[in-house]
Chain A
Amino acid sequence: MNQQRRRVLISGNEATAEGGIAGGCRHFFGYPITPQNKIPEYMAEHLPPIGGVYLQAESELAAINMVYGAACAGARAMTTSSSPGISLMQEGLSYMLGSELPCVVVNMVRGGPGLGNVAVAQSDYWQATRGAGHGDGRCITLTPYSVQELHDFTAGAFEIADRYRNPVCVLADAILASMMEPCELQPRRELPPPVRPWAVGPHDPAERERNIVNSLWVDHNLMEAVNLRIEERYRQAAEEITDWEEFGSDDPEVLLCAYGISARICESAVGHAAEAGVRTRLIRPKTVFPFPRAPYAQWAERVEQMLVVELSLGQFVEDVLLSVNGRCEVDLLARTGGSMPTVADVVERIVQLARRAGGR
């Protein structure tokens, strides 16, 4: 494989799949669900010829538990799905959190609740950031906003999962999944077997004791100790991998807050608002757990008004509110169920807010 980055026109789904392979994933387990079917199709085509495993599971329940097994065995394992399927994986993810196992899960979010639809949505934000299933763990959650970032974040997610021994969720959406953009593909990493002293499998008993992968701690003191150990890794992750991007005026009247596809709309809105005479700046989280609280907290001291744009009815805004902690006004432009605001909708709201702020 050419070690140069190859620039191609590619869909978000395919860029995600190739990102997984580039990141060292050679074991993929999945179950079909729209709008992410191109990922398993890509893996089915590309993994076996390079000695990898593609397996179509009988359900998302089975898929995530196959990922669990592969992770127990020390592999870089991955699954992808969309909202209803990700719901079914919550129990398995909870077991992976409790057993301190790395894996990568991509969620191409679609409209819900229920069967919903296959249109764009961001309404799985709480599920992605507040935990996975039951218990006290949380998934590290990355929020790409372009095909390039889908590719790069998915590739990089394996290192993060390994470093913190925790599932990493790449939280994207139906539009990012399907749209095509130019993308520089990373070379496919050929990894030496990762050092995983905790993994199970054939071994020389002279070299190590037997390994047990487990999340059962009947002694509540042990269970608490495990949870605190995991919590400490989240603290560490907050220091080391919290990431965001800022874009726009250095002296904004309205600060825009959005992630993923909403941030793409807001990026356009920054320029159009300037034409309408309003200075804005966008803060776009690339990680939402850990959440970049610092930039929101800092800007809250300097602006009167923030505007949150999200494709869910007030989920992401809660993290902004927690960061801002009452230091400025926070307005919400929310669409749901597969609908999305236009750039003009966002600009119109920005202008209204700027006038209101100017009037105070």
Chain B
Amino acid sequence: MAELTLVNPYPDALTEVEMRYCPGCTHGTAHRLVAEVIDELGVKDRTVAIATVGCSVYAYEYFDMDAVQASHGRGPAVATGIKRVHPDSVVFTYQGDGDLASIGMAEVVHAAARAENFTIIFINNAVFGMTQGQMAPTTLLGQKTTTSPRGRTVPEAGHPIRICELLNTLDGAAFLAREALTTPQRIRSAKRSIKRAFETQLAGAGFSLVELLSICPQWWGMDVLEAIDHIEDTMIEYYPVGVFRDQLAKQEGGGHA
């Protein structure tokens, strides 16, 4: 009988604390991808994770490294303070769409504009999860939430915000990508972007953000497979996936020319 080898062991950068996320939620996938990247880059001992307010409020219990809890929306400001004291540290915030795109919009925009050299993992599931399903700035038109019970309409609540496209107007943003945590193929692509974002930070190239389209079966009122289909069939149409900005590639490309 062939000897079995574990080709994908549990990441060193994740604790073994039982996560509080709902069954089927993709936060666990996102955590794992970030942890694998940190392990692969060998930077755990100089990384500071910034947990924010939302479902991922306990991220500091799951990421096995120095960590700080930030107030709602202020993760990028806290990251700025840490990074300006320890430029040799690796800093990332882990923010949901309420934290980043609603209350924290000023902080993320200005951090990007200042080319702050840290990384943001942005979970976009188009809903406020922890507070039980209210409308987010990224909630799609027509989407029902507990505060848009008849579906989001433009006269009532305006349009959903596309963060990557918005930040892509800023010269300080060095890496911007949107990925979807749906199929194995897309999840591998998400990991590549997360790694690229951290490499951008390690190169000192400036601000990096990876937006991850994520499911929220609980507050979408769907089972997991329906929720994955919803991203594939509906969300990606409004939030196209791909790399919007890759300053490192440009520099590398320039080097080879």
Contact = CB atoms under 8 A, between A and B. Distances in A.
A269 B199 CA distance: 66
A197 to B, nearest CB: 12
Interface string A55-86: 10111011101111111111101000000000
B60 interface: yes
Contact of B85 (A61, A74, A91, A95): A74
Interface stretch (B75-83, B155-163, B229-237): B75-83
Contacts of A27: 81, 84-85
A70 B60 contact: no
Interface residues of A, number: 39
Contact of A69 (B46, B60, B81, B110): B81
A203 B89 CA distance: 9
B82 A214 contact: no
A203 B66 contact: yes
Contacts of B70: 65, 68-69, 95
B97 interface: no
A259 interface: no
Interface in B80-129: 80-86, 88-89, 106-107, 109-110
Contact of A201 (B58, B77, B85): B85
A202 B89 contact: yes
A212 interface: yes
Contacts of B88: 202
Contacts of A291: none
Given A205-B45, A210-B65, A213-B67, A69 B86 contact: no
A211 interface: yes
A205 B74 CA distance: 28
A50 interface: no
Interface string A191-203: 0000000001111
Interface string B49-68: 00000000110100011111
A69 B69 CA distance: 10
Interface in A25-78: 27, 29, 53, 55, 57-59, 61-63, 65-75, 77
A99 interface: yes
Contacts of A250: none
A62 B74 contact: yes
A214 B68 contact: yes
Given A62-B110, A215-B69, A202 B46 contact: yes
B71 interface: yes
Contacts of B110: 57-58, 62
A200 B68 contact: yes
A64 to B, nearest CB: 8
Given A68-B81, A73-B81, A210 B64 contact: yes
B58 to A, nearest CB: 8
Nearest to B106: A58
A335 B66 CA distance: 50
A204 B69 contact: no
Contacts of A200: 48, 66-68, 82
Given A201-B48, A212-B67, A62 B85 contact: no
B77 A66 contact: yes
Contacts of B74: 61-62, 65, 68, 92
Given A92-B74, A201-B48, A202-B45, A72 B86 contact: no
Interface string A289-307: 0000000000000000000
Nearest to A29: B81
Interface string B211-234: 000000000000000000000000
Contact of B60 (A63, A201, A204, A214): A214
Nearest to B113: A58
Given A61-B74, A73-B82, 5 more contacts: A69-B82, A70-B85, A202-B45, A202-B86, A215-B69
5 contacts: A66-B78, A69-B70, A95-B70, A213-B69, A214-B69
